[in-house]
Structure 1
Amino acid sequence: MTSESTTASTPVADLRRRTGDMAAFAGIQEVVLSNGREHGVRALVLRNLSGLEVEVLIDRAFDLGGARYRGTPFGWRSGNGFRHPGLHEADAEDGLSWLRALDGLLVTGGLDHALFGGEYDATHYNYPPKQTVRHGLHGRLTAIPARLISVDEDWDGGALRVTGEVIQATSFGEHLRLTRTVEIDLHGTEVRVHDVVDNLGFEKTPHMFLYHLNIGYPYVDEGAQLVAPITSHVWASDSTSQQGVAYDVLSAPIDGFVEQVWEHALAAGPDGQHRVALVHPDGERGIEVSWDSQAQPYFFEWQNLRSGQYGVGLEPSSNHVTGEAAAREDGSLTWLAHGESRTYDLTVRILDGATDVQGSRARIRAIGDQPASDLSTHD
């Protein structure tokens, strides 16, 4: 038995007898990044006895930054860095400035808008100079700092958890609040995110919400497979028919690769959860993601297999890929009245070893199969 596995299996009471500071084994560390684009960004590092470590970026909407399991990264890094929010220009670059903030394991889209942007009616805010509002890609949430509410090293309860609050507000416009709790067990391989979005304002307000969950190398690699209970392919970007890369098996990095986006309709399990996995070709590691199918019934797969950007996004969404314009037109857009709220839950599980991988496959296949691709095969 290795010293690492010995530590992970030792009861908390026995660990206390063997150290003067439990931070030697696990805990939550508050840090401030201090160099370059990241200067001044506050973060929390949650680290458990099993070797799971995740960074919560307080000053980037309480999103998740770097993520590692036993020293191996699984969160994607784009090269943008965890930029200080003061550098962000939400309305720049024809609404595409969000791409300069895209980095890390989780980047959340919302709160009043997600997906591609545009100009929309704003007369419901009853402010004559503001007849319309313009949204960029995935909304304004990403560049808003959070207020830290609590940090809890619950050794008796067996969990590490942190809670923050993000306010997205403007005079004569939206006044929405995101309250987020991120939790990992002292022993375990799961990261859990619990979100509540509520309307503090007194005008009805549009609400959209998306988890841009980003996985990187080595969990993303040539031959890695998406395993999901897919009932149909609802939508695919134009590039998916031109580059010879299937939806279900990844290629090696490709110079100049154009992002491929798929919307897959998923079957839900008996517990009401959607569940998908990304499995490494060696069958010894992977990532399983699950979420509430009622709160976020839509799912996108983002393949960014470009050299130097290599990663995959697994994206639960409250809305269809066609976005706010279509949702307004067909009546499916969520409107929150004063005091109304929506709740979201996301679980990211590391699959450690062949038994974990096989168990994940079995859970997903018990829900449903997936279509074969012309470019790949799967079991």
Structure 2
Amino acid sequence: MTEVFPSGADRTTLGLRRRTGDLAAFAGVQEVVLKNGREEGVRALVLRNASGLEIEVLIDRAFDLGGARYRGAPFGWRSGNGFRHPGLHEADAEDGLSWLRALDGLLVTGGLDHALFGGEYDATHYNYPPKQTVRHGLHGRLTAIPARLLRVEEHWDETGGVLRVVGEVVQATSFGEHLRLTRTIEVDVFGTEVRVHDVVDNLGFEPTPHMFLYHLNIGYPFVDEGTSFVADVDGHEWASDSTSQQGVAFDRLSAPIDGFVEQVWEHRLRAGVDGWHRVALHAPGGERGIEVAWDAATQPYFFEWQNLRSGQYGVGLEPSSNHVSGEAAAREDGSLVWLGHGESRTYRMTISILDGADEIAQSADRIRGH
């Protein structure tokens, strides 16, 4: 892709200061409010760096990531739903599938007490007689909860620095869960990666179920006919029925298909020597791609969501704390995480842009452990 700066340019903070009266011309964080249609009133932060990376952090949508671009090319998937104001969300509607009306953008997080498909579950641990059970929809309630913005930081040093934003989302109800997500998002002033650091803790005094999933959504032109899915796959734990009927393999994407039925694979991945899982999408032509890495200890499961339907075309890369069988199975086999008062879980994920054939080749070697 085209370089932002001329070959041999002075890519230091001092070099930039010599060439502008305001470093915000090259990198910074801008606070905005969306002002039209379904998105009216949604607060957001736009992080832009000097390498051409730009992401939107949706404060009022659980501090998730909305639009994302690299040197003008979008890589965050767009569904057509828009970044709807959370006041429009109906968490219990459509037999628990109303979450699909909120699905849009680069990152939509599932949690905090439930992820994956919904159902009705025992709630007697909350010790409130009128509430014997609790019902959850697809991927839980988190995405429609506004965050509290804690910090916006722009740290410049001699070699560039870092842009950092921190937000807090509390999911709570009387006589039920009282969980908090503290999310930190970082982008280097010179760099091509987004770092997400999450801590979920229990502010309540009852033991509370906890599930957590990153629904990371990549779109065109990083997803296209011939895009390769690259991972160190040790086998397939599960695949939706549609995977055997449509002729699209898990590791090579097709062009958009009218009426395509989503395909979901649960891949069993081998972790690297550092204890992290890595997967990538390498676009056809070998010139661009996306690599995602995360801590395998807290999210040992991974799903590949192929939504190759015309008008919805994209791929979801989904690290998860739980197997695709969901909460009921996790309760039954004892694998469900329960957080006591003050207990927490920490999650880390890095989203890296791959620019050029050399970085694509390095990504393939890194993932396959060569």
TM-score range, shorter chain: over 0.9
Alignment correspondent of 2:86: 85
Check if 1:36 corresponds to 2:54. no
Following superposition of structure 1 onto structure 2, how do residues 163-174 of structure 1 map, counting pairs within 5 Å? 163-174=166-177
Alignment correspondent of 1:306: 309
Q: Distance in 2 between matches of 1:261 and 1:172?
A: 35
SS at match of 1:290: strand
- Residues 9-33 of structure 1, C-alpha deviations (whole Å, 9 max, x = no match): 5210221232221111110000000
TM-score, normalisation: structure 2: 0.97
Q: Report the residue type matching 1:237 in the other structure.
A: S
Alignment correspondent of 1:362: 365
Q: Distance in 2 between matches of 1:98 and 1:5?
A: 45
Q: Say if 1:240 and 1:163 are closer, same or farther in 2 by CA, change over 3 A.
A: same
Whether the 8 Å contact between 1:8 and 1:187 is mirrored in structure 2 is no
Following superposition of structure 1 onto structure 2, how do residues 314-333 of structure 1 map, counting pairs within 5 Å? 314-333=317-336
SS at match of 1:356: helix
SS at match of 2:369: helix
Q: Say if 1:3 and 1:196 are closer, same or farther in 2 by CA, change over 3 A.
A: closer
Q: Report the residue type matching 1:54 in the other structure.
A: I
Whether the 8 Å contact between 1:8 and 1:49 is mirrored in structure 2 is no
Q: Say if 1:7 and 1:338 are closer, same or farther in 2 by CA, change over 3 A.
A: farther
Alignment correspondent of 1:133: 134
Q: Report the residue type matching 2:269 in the other structure.
A: L
Q: Say if 1:9 and 1:345 are closer, same or farther in 2 by CA, change over 3 A.
A: farther
TM-score, normalisation: structure 1: 0.95
Q: Say if 1:90 and 1:8 are closer, same or farther in 2 by CA, change over 3 A.
A: farther
Q: Distance in 2 between matches of 1:3 and 1:89?
A: 43
- Residues 38-97 of structure 1, C-alpha deviations (whole Å, 9 max, x = no match): 000000000000000000000000000000000000000000000000000000000000
Q: Distance in 1 between matches of 2:216 and 2:259?
A: 22
Q: Say if 1:273 and 1:250 are closer, same or farther in 2 by CA, change over 3 A.
A: same
Following superposition of structure 1 onto structure 2, how do residues 102-113 of structure 1 map, counting pairs within 5 Å? 102-113=103-114
Whether the 8 Å contact between 2:217 and 2:317 is mirrored in structure 1 is yes
Following superposition of structure 1 onto structure 2, how do residues 40-79 of structure 1 map, counting pairs within 5 Å? 40-79=41-80
* C-alpha RMSD of matched pairs (Å): 1.2
- Residues 252-286 of structure 1, C-alpha deviations (whole Å, 9 max, x = no match): 00000000000000000000000011001111110
Q: Say if 1:8 and 1:109 are closer, same or farther in 2 by CA, change over 3 A.
A: farther
Q: Distance in 2 between matches of 1:96 and 1:88?
A: 11
- Residues 104-138 of structure 1, C-alpha deviations (whole Å, 9 max, x = no match): 00000000000000000000000000000000000
Q: Say if 1:328 and 1:21 are closer, same or farther in 2 by CA, change over 3 A.
A: same
Q: Say if 1:135 and 1:270 are closer, same or farther in 2 by CA, change over 3 A.
A: same
Alignment correspondent of 1:187: 190
Q: Distance in 2 between matches of 1:141 and 1:172?
A: 18
Paired positions, count: 367
Q: Distance in 2 between matches of 1:169 and 1:278?
A: 37
Q: Distance in 2 between matches of 1:133 and 1:86?
A: 22
SS at match of 2:329: helix
Q: Distance in 1 between matches of 2:4 and 2:196?
A: 30
Range 6-15 or range 45-54, more displaced: 6-15
Which of 200, 204, 225 is the matching residue for 1:201? 204
- Residues 317-348 of structure 1, C-alpha deviations (whole Å, 9 max, x = no match): 00000000000000000000000000000100
Q: Distance in 2 between matches of 1:159 and 1:306?
A: 38
Range 355-364 or range 9-18, more displaced: 9-18
Q: Report the residue type matching 2:108 in the other structure.
A: V
Q: Distance in 2 between matches of 1:69 and 1:188?
A: 11
Q: Distance in 2 between matches of 1:213 and 1:2?
A: 26
Whether the 8 Å contact between 2:117 and 2:139 is mirrored in structure 1 is yes
Q: Distance in 1 between matches of 2:90 and 2:72?
A: 34
Check if 1:122 corresponds to 2:134. no
Q: Distance in 1 between matches of 2:118 and 2:311?
A: 26
SS at match of 1:316: strand
| Runs of 5+ consecutive residues of structure 2 not aligned to the other structure | none
Whether the 8 Å contact between 2:207 and 2:341 is mirrored in structure 1 is yes
Alignment correspondent of 1:26: 27
Range 1-10 or range 100-109, more displaced: 1-10
Which of 255, 258, 268 is the matching residue for 2:258? 255
Which of 352, 355, 364 is the matching residue for 1:349? 352
Percent identity between matched residues is 81
Whether the 8 Å contact between 1:216 and 1:311 is mirrored in structure 2 is yes
Q: Distance in 2 between matches of 1:70 and 1:219?
A: 13
Whether the 8 Å contact between 1:324 and 1:333 is mirrored in structure 2 is yes
Q: Report the residue type matching 1:80 in the other structure.
A: N
Q: Distance in 2 between matches of 1:116 and 1:43?
A: 28
Q: Distance in 1 between matches of 2:81 and 2:293?
A: 27
Check if 1:95 corresponds to 2:96. yes
